[in-house]
């Protein structure tokens, strides 16, 4: 049986595609929010607090040291929670899309598939809400995130079991892939996605080389250097050592972001290529969409990399590229929602 003709998977696939793309969109919105509002404020606030700590230690003012560390802890928690939500909801969105792509290859029953799809949808919401509520309301809410992760784990394990016990009704892989990649736009997304994966990994290797060659340890040793300067009663040297620590930490974080955004966007493009038939947009329009999305996906990590290594104003290009990518993802949500209505009609006609 052709994998695309399995009516039992259609409903679950639709739920997972629509929710997966929505989660990726939410991740993009959080990322843009982080880049525009949180990152810069948190970094400069923490740098200022560290400088204050150096001066306070020099005069033996432990109350100010505690106060400044409280500022750092608060900014760090805010930045960490938003970054955590951004990365987890993005990864969960991709996971939901991956499961949608795999369902036709399993022989799981219609009820199992529906239960699976709704469990994944609610697990991602639990995880997302848990991480954010832990910061804004009560830290105990973090256990909601753990529960969400456990349900998500179970969802992936069920699909794995479905693939291991492929029986009657499971789709044929070769036919499945050929039918999914028969549109030129899908093939374009496939080529762009794999190329971006390669570039992202090459950038990752370069960053790994920087770590192995000592950049990470040098950055951290700046804290110890600041203490040495304080012992010598040289407060301004201690402050400049700690400023260097903050700068190199921010630099390695932004470089890591340049590395991680490429492969994530690449995986999103590959999944869109495989799930093209669940996105109800005209072929010509989808081709234009694919070209625009692929171009922006290549540009985003490039701007981030250039911003921290060459000219910091490239960050504005990165921010607006992120906004455009989020807008394009809204188009996919629209297409996935339209696909729902059309498939319902088709199911009605079949009945």
Partner 1 sequence: MEKIQLRLVITGLLLILLGFLYGMIHTIAVDHAPRLQLREDYKVAFTQAADKGFDNRTSKSTMNNIESVNARTIEYQRAIGAHTHAIYLGLMITILGLVLNFALANSPYKFHIMGALGAGAAIYPLGLALQASGMILAGEVMALLGSVAVIGCIGLIVLKLLTNNDAEQ
Residues 225-264 that bind partner 1 (CB under 8 A): 227, 230-231, 260, 263-264
Count residues binding partner 1 (CB under 8 A): 74
Nearest alpha-carbon partner for 51 in 236, 251, 249, 250 = 236
- The secondary structure element, H or E, covering residue 174 is helix 173-180
In the list 1, 37, 41, 220, the residue contacting partner 1 (rule: CB under 8 A) is: 220
* Binding to partner 1, residues 175-214 (CB under 8 A): 176-178, 181, 184, 187, 190-191, 194-195, 197-198, 201-202, 204-205, 208, 212
Environment class of 341 (CB within 10 Å of its CB; exposed 0-12, middle 13-18, buried 19+): exposed
Environment class of 284 (CB within 10 Å of its CB; exposed 0-12, middle 13-18, buried 19+): exposed
CB of 332 to partner 1, least distance (A): 17
In the list 138, 167, 168, 217, the residue contacting partner 1 (rule: CB under 8 A) is: 217
CB of 52 to partner 1, least distance (A): 11
* Rounded CA separation 223/50 (Å): 10
User: Does residue 32 touch partner 1 according to CB under 8 A?
Assistant: no
* Rounded CA separation 72/19 (Å): 36
> Which residue carries 């500022």 as its tokens?
71
CB of 345 to partner 1, least distance (A): 28
Question: What x-and-dash track marks residues 262-291 binding partner 1 by CB under 8 A?
Answer: -xx--x--xx--x-----------------
Instruction: Produce one character per residue of 154-174: b if its CB has 16 or more CB atoms within 10 Å, e if not.
Output: ebeebbeebeeeeeeebbeee
CB of 211 to partner 1, least distance (A): 9
User: Does residue 164 touch partner 1 according to CB under 8 A?
Assistant: yes
Nearer to partner 1, 191 or 338 (CB): 191
Question: Angle at CA 297, nearest 5°, toward 294 and 302?
Answer: 130
User: Does residue 347 touch partner 1 according to CB under 8 A?
Assistant: no
Nearer to partner 1, 11 or 149 (CB): 149
Sign of the alpha-carbon torsion through 78, 80, 83, 89 = negative
User: Does residue 295 touch partner 1 according to CB under 8 A?
Assistant: no
* Binding to partner 1, residues 121-150 (CB under 8 A): 134, 139, 142, 146, 149-150
* Rounded CA separation 210/258 (Å): 14
User: Does residue 221 touch partner 1 according to CB under 8 A?
Assistant: yes
Nearer to partner 1, 125 or 177 (CB): 177
* Binding to partner 1, residues 65-94 (CB under 8 A): 65-66, 69, 72-73, 76-77, 80, 87, 91, 94
Residues 6 or more apart whose Cβ sits within 8 Å of residue 87:
27, 260
């Amino acid at each position: 049986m052709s994998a695309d003709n399995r009516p039992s998977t259609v409903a679950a696939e639709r739920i997972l595609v629509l929710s997966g793309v929505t989660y990726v969109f939410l991740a993009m919105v959080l990322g843009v929010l982080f880049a525009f509002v949180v990152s810069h404020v948190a970094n400069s606030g923490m740098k200022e607090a560290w400088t204050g700590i150096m001066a306070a230690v020099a005069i033996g003012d432990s109350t100010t040291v505690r106060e400044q560390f409280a500022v750092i802890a608060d900014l760090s928690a805010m930045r960490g929670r938003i970054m955590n939500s951004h990365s987890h909801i993005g990864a969960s969105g991709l996971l939901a899309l991956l499961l949608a792509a795999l369902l036709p290859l399993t022989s799981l029953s219609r009820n199992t598939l529906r239960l699976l799809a709704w469990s994944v949808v609610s697990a991602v919401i639990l995880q997302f809400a848990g991480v954010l509520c832990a910061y804004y309301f009560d830290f105990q809410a973090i256990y909601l995130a753990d529960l969400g992760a456990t349900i998500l784990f179970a969802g992936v394990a069920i699909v794995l079991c479905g693939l291991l016990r492929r029986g009657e009704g499971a789709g044929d892989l070769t036919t499945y892939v050929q039918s999914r990649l028969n549109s030129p736009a899908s093939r374009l997304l496939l080529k762009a996605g794999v190329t971006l994966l390669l570039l992202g990994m090459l950038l990752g290797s370069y960053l790994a080389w920087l770590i192995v060659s000592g950049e990470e340890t040098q950055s951290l040793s700046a804290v110890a250097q600041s203490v040495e300067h304080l012992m010598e009663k040289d407060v301004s040297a201690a402050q400049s050592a700690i400023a260097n620590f903050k700068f190199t930490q921010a630099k390695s974080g932004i470089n890591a972001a340049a590395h991680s955004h490429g492969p994530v966007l690449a995986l999103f493009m590959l999944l869109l290529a495989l799930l093209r038939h669940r996105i109800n947009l005209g072929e010509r329009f989808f081709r234009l969409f694919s070209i625009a999305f692929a171009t922006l996906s290549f540009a985003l990590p490039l701007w981030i990399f250039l911003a921290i290594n060459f000219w910091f104003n490239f960050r504005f290009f990165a921010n607006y590229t992120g906004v455009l990518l989020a807008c394009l993802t809204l188009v996919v949500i629209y297409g996935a929602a339209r696909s729902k209505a059309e498939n319902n009609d088709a199911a009605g006609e079949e009945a």
